[in-house]
Amino acid sequence: MPNPLMATYARLPVTFHHGEGCRLFDENGKAYLDAIGGIAVCALGHAHPRVTQALCEQAGRLVHTSNLYGIARQRELGERLTSLAGMDRVFFGNSGAEANEAAIKLARLHGHARGIATPTIIVAENSFHGRTMATLSATGNRKVQAGFEPLVGGFIRVPFDDLEAIRRIAENSDEVVAVLVEPIQGEGGVRVPTDGYLRDLRALCDAHHWLLMLDEIQTGMGRTGRWFACQHEAVTPDVMTLAKALGNGVPIGACLASGAAAEVLGPGTHGSTFGGNPLACAAASATIETLDQEALVARAADAGERLMASLRERVGGLDGVTEIRGRGLMIGIELERPCGGLVNRALDQGLLINVTAGHVVRLLPPLVISDAEIEELVDGLGRLIGAFVASEAA
């Protein structure tokens, strides 16, 4: 049979059968240590019993009704999320891209209400915001955009972590309505901005009546050691988007808003058939409850420090390793040369890692990773990276 799947992914030669915690098992029973967690999705690891139980119970009672009706599970999740974020309201979709679409639409509506004819959103180089037309247009990566022109307009791009560039735009444009950035760039290579960047950006947005919109799709839900990465700088955005870890693998995205921004999307302005259905909301509520009760946000901070310190000790000093950076359990190891081949070599050894931006090994393990698993990860990576940079020197 020819492959019936569109060739959108260059898939690795493995198919998993089941998982437990940080382990995945392939169809032949071989075990893998998962240091990528379904791309920052499975924060509680695989097959967490509390999420399984919530899903089974909810599936047996009610999966979907549509947003024509009240959804108790959605309200419950909305209350939990807005209180964790210190924000006012939330719209639920089914993915990260959809959460960002909601944010972009909100910003445009807000701009038009202020009499701005061409509402424009400032976005960053090297950013990633999704694969739909508006979100790929917002994304700062030509590879994501190439071939899909005409792009959606209304975005101005600046270098990441460069407030001066944004100040210059403020002096020259009356059309800006919002700034949309990731607190730490994920796909762009785990790029952590200078301390104070978000705080200063918050002040700049306030001064110009712009919305500060943070894409926390990858950084959110505890991964960086706070519920949301903006909390490291005590910043509350006007709009925040979430997805990835929100449902521990069950598709769900959220666009949160605070203050005036929370009142922008009114009846008929936006919607989603599946968005926030009882099943997805049950998974997300169980995920949040478990993160909370098992103190996994604090654990992400501790485990991240331990992992970072061990990595620095083990590979930090090697020629060919440029930098090790990150926050909590979002860590990048930048190498001097492209290292995509490491992913396959790691797979052979039963280790699941990712390489992003060509030469950055990215680690996004489940927050439940144990100290022993951290040791195993550092050991495996140490050997792989050691051999890789040594082969370069030869």
Which residues does the annotation mark as catalytic?
128, 215, 244
Tell me the residue number closest to ligand PLP, measured at CB: 96
Q: Is the dihedral of CA 14, 19, 20, 21 positive or negative?
A: positive
Least distance from ligand PLP to the Cβ atom of residue 387, Å = 30
* Among the residue ranges 2-10, 11-19, 173-181, 210-218, the one whose residues contact ligand PLP (CB under 6 A): 210-218
* Among the residue ranges 9-17, 117-125, 180-188, 224-232, the one whose residues contact ligand PLP (CB under 6 A): 180-188
Letters for 77-116 (x = contact with ligand PLP by CB under 6 A, - = none) are ------------------xxx--x----------------
Q: Which is nearer to ligand PLP, 100 or 310 (CB)?
A: 100
By CB under 6 A, residue 126 contacts ligand PLP: no
Least distance from ligand PLP to the Cβ atom of residue 55, Å = 19
CB atoms within 10 A of CB 198: 22
- Among 42, 205, 213, 217, the residue binding ligand PLP under the rule CB under 6 A is 217
Are 237 and 258 within 8 A, CB to CB?
yes
| 31-34 and 351-352 strand pairing | parallel
Letters for 236-265 (x = contact with ligand PLP by CB under 6 A, - = none) are -------xx---------------------
* Among the residue ranges 114-122, 211-219, 289-297, 380-388, the one whose residues contact ligand PLP (CB under 6 A): 211-219
Which letter does DSSP use for residue 157 in this model? E
Residue type, 296: L
- Distance separating alpha carbons of residues 340 and 123, to the nearest angstrom: 27
By CB under 6 A, residue 35 contacts ligand PLP: no
Q: Which residue has the tokens 């081949």?
A: 341
Write the burial class of residue 116 (CB in 10 Å: 0-12 exposed, 13-18 middle, 19+ buried).
middle
By CB under 6 A, residue 331 contacts ligand PLP: no
* Among the residue ranges 60-68, 122-130, 290-298, 315-323, the one whose residues contact ligand PLP (CB under 6 A): 122-130
Report DSSP letters for 107-124, one per residue.
Answer: HHHHHHHTT-SS-EEEEE
Letters for 127-156 (x = contact with ligand PLP by CB under 6 A, - = none) are -xxx--------------------------
Q: Where are the beta strands (DSSP E) in 198-265?
A: 211-215, 239-242, 253-257
By CB under 6 A, residue 328 contacts ligand PLP: no
- Run of H or E including 355: strand 354-356
Q: Which is nearer to ligand PLP, 152 or 309 (CB)?
A: 152
Task: Give the pair of three-digit tokens for residue 256.
Answer: 């949160």
Cis peptide before 150 (omega within 30 of 0): yes
Q: Which is nearer to ligand PLP, 127 or 310 (CB)?
A: 127
| 354-356 and 16-20 strand pairing | unpaired
By CB under 6 A, residue 160 contacts ligand PLP: no
Are 67 and 278 within 8 A, CB to CB?
no
* Among the residue ranges 48-56, 75-83, 123-131, 255-263, the one whose residues contact ligand PLP (CB under 6 A): 123-131
391: Cβ contacts below 8 Å, ≥ 6 apart = none
**Cα atoms in the 13 Å half-sphere on the side-chain side of 151:** 18
Least distance from ligand PLP to the Cβ atom of residue 343, Å = 18
The residue ranges that bind ligand PLP (CB under 6 A) are: 95-97, 100, 128-130, 182, 186-187, 215, 217-218, 243-244
